[in-house]
Amino acid sequence: MVEGLNRLFSKVDRYKSQIDTLRPFEGNILKQIKNYYKIGLTYSSNALEGNSLTETETKVLLEDGLTVGGKPIRDYYEATGHAKAYDYIYSVAKGEPISEEQIKTIHRLFYSLIDADMAGTYRQERVIITGSSYSTPPPEKMPELMGSFALWLAHSEDKLHPVEYAAQAHKRFVFIHPFIDGNGRVARLLMNLCLIRRGYTIGIIPPILRHEYISLLEKAHRDDQPFVRFITERVEETQKDLLRLLM
């Protein structure tokens, strides 16, 4: 498995090198790329959690501010908040290591329209992950666990392959489950922040792969290599998609 992963890492590194030859992305083309993936990531990440907006409806909402009748207002709040959090991760992609406060800000931006009191605040109660055989840590452990997680983020960024680092960050964050809701969305935004900090494209998990994604995340409690491989393959697909757009 490790040898297979290393080959896959080499493959995404070759795609990254190919994309790097087309840089720098500036001006209108940079704006178009960011907006294209903002819609794709916002739609897919929300859809994985049961949001009913289609990709077209997400695009119309984010670009034109228009809503479609009959959809739950929460679905619009989730899309609007996710787009704000997406813009934020690009604003902090350079510089100091990812901090605990930045993770709180990602959640606050995503969740503020849904529940302003709990946005950016660690949970004060236990949560149960439906379908999982594993319990989440008790709420009183959140400050300690998240502090340790932030230290891991800072110390591990230069020690792991960037895509493995991003996948591990996703896994570790979800296992802590620090917020009352929105942990999956924040995990995927955090994962993508890890990727763009190192010059990689984001990874998008299409809703059609929801079952595989959840199953591998559950299995990652015992063996996380298949989950890392899954995330690496999602990054590869986004790289190929970007090259199709640019070539």
- List of domains in the chain: 2-246 (1.10.3290.10)
Residues 137-185 have pLDDT tens digits of 999 999 999 999 999 999 999 999 999 999 999 999 999 999 999 999 9
List 82, 107, 170, 177, catalytic entry = 177
Taking only the tens place, the pLDDT of each residue in 230-246 is 999 999 999 999 999 99
Query: Is a pLDDT exceeding 70 seen at residue 1?
Result: no
- C-beta of residue 22 within 8 angstroms of C-beta of residue 246: yes
**What was the pLDDT predicted at 68?**
84
Of all residues in the chain, what percent carry a pLDDT higher than 90? Answer: 95
Confidence of residue 247 (pLDDT cuts 50, 70, 90): confident
Q: Region 46-56: what's the mean pLDDT?
A: 97
pLDDT category of residue 4 using cuts at 50, 70 and 90:
confident
Mean pLDDT, range 76-82, rounded to an integer: 98
pLDDT at 198: 97
Q: Is 211 a catalytic residue?
A: no
Q: Which of 178, 168, 118 is nearest to 144 (CA)?
A: 178
